Amino acid sequence: MQQPFAMVINMKRAIIIGAAGFVGGYLINYLNRECGLEVFATKLKSEKIENNTAQIHDLDIMDKEAIVSLLFEVRPDYIFHLAAQSSVGLAWKNPGLTIDVNIKGSVNVMDAIRELYYKPRVLLIGSGEEYGHIKTGETPIRETNMVRPGNIYAATKACQNMIGNIYARAYDMKVVMVRAFNHIGPTQAPIFVVADFCKQVAEIEQGMREPVMYVGNLDAKRDFTDVRDVVRAYALLAEQGIAGETYNVGSGHAIAIREILDRIISMSDCDIAVEIDPNKLRPVDVPIIEADISKIRTLTGWTPEISLEQTIQETLDYWRGSIRNN
């Protein structure tokens, strides 16, 4: 396995903006333990980060001056911008919040970085959802594919990507963009499909609900990658990515949500029925999203290493333990 930052002699600093979410904890641990970086992480005052390997700061990215102050204090070599409203479902319900956080907040971060007296390496995290409506012959999707966002969240992330490219070229900033496809794993919130399914099965096994799974669109195909592979890709791109360029991070293989559900149910001894929940259906759902990951593989040697089966099993076991303990 290729390790990023392998030649670092003096400990360098990384800051993760918006580290209280699912990916943040995994990224903190990877950068500190595997990369040997001194890690700083930000969260909202209302959030919690239970991690003693990072120095934690409260930060609202809607406050540009607060970002400037923190960056001058920390003086990071690497900046990972994870702060986002990342739920597609919530974006449909609250477009204004999603636009504020994902576009205005990102511009605040970029402008704050411009004020530094040096040029740190910056990774802007986007989404495979940006590609939106994929035409026949366009799968797997390359970074050069036209983006046709099919939902509010995707539109904000596509805008962030374009802004990042402009800042990299216009202001000579070391900004690298990522389009991350669906990432999954233990501790993910159940507003996301795999965690939702696993939580429902664990609750059924404990007799907390009737043996019926309530689901949304099962025909959509998505590209799922274990979060631990994803953060390894982020670290490699933060070190090696070319400024102004965009890189897909995914498994390179799309799988139907129905097959994910079948695999999860097969890991349980319970007899479980499946019913469609209209509340879980989205106004517009893209039929297939699958990444071409040749660009990141050619640059860094990165490929996913953790199987989908392992990720699903460990996610289900996490929810079994969480529900049992609570």
- Provide the percentage of residues in the chain whose pLDDT is more than 70: 96
Report the C-alpha gap between 182 and 192 in whole angstroms.
9
Report the C-alpha gap between 299 and 172 in whole angstroms.
21
Work out the mean pLDDT of the chain and round it to a whole number. 93
Average pLDDT over residues 70-78: 98
Whether the predicted pLDDT of 307 surpasses 50: yes
Report the C-alpha gap between 141 and 300 in whole angstroms.
19
* Phi, psi torsion values for 33, nearest 5 degrees: -80, -40
pLDDT at 5: 59
The residues pairing with 123 across neighbouring beta strands, listed in sequence order, are: 80, 176
Report the C-alpha gap between 27 and 39 in whole angstroms.
10
The amino acid that residue 253 corresponds to is H
CA nearest to 97, candidates 165, 153, 55, 41 = 153
- pLDDT bracket for residue 3 (50, 70, 90): low
Q: What's this model's pTM, rounded to 2 decimal places?
A: 0.92
pLDDT at 114: 96
Report the C-alpha gap between 258 and 193 in whole angstroms.
11
pLDDT at 90: 85
Angle between helices 257-266 and 193-205 (to 10 degrees): 30
Whether the predicted pLDDT of 167 surpasses 70: yes
Domains of the chain: 13-185+224-253+290-305 (3.40.50.720), 193-220+255-289+314-325 (3.90.25.10)
- pLDDT bracket for residue 284 (50, 70, 90): low
Q: Per-residue pLDDT tens for 80-112?
A: 999 998 777 788 899 999 999 999 999 999 999
Positive or negative torsion for Cα 5, 6, 7, 11: positive
Q: Per-residue pLDDT tens for 35-64?
A: 999 999 999 999 999 888 999 999 999 999
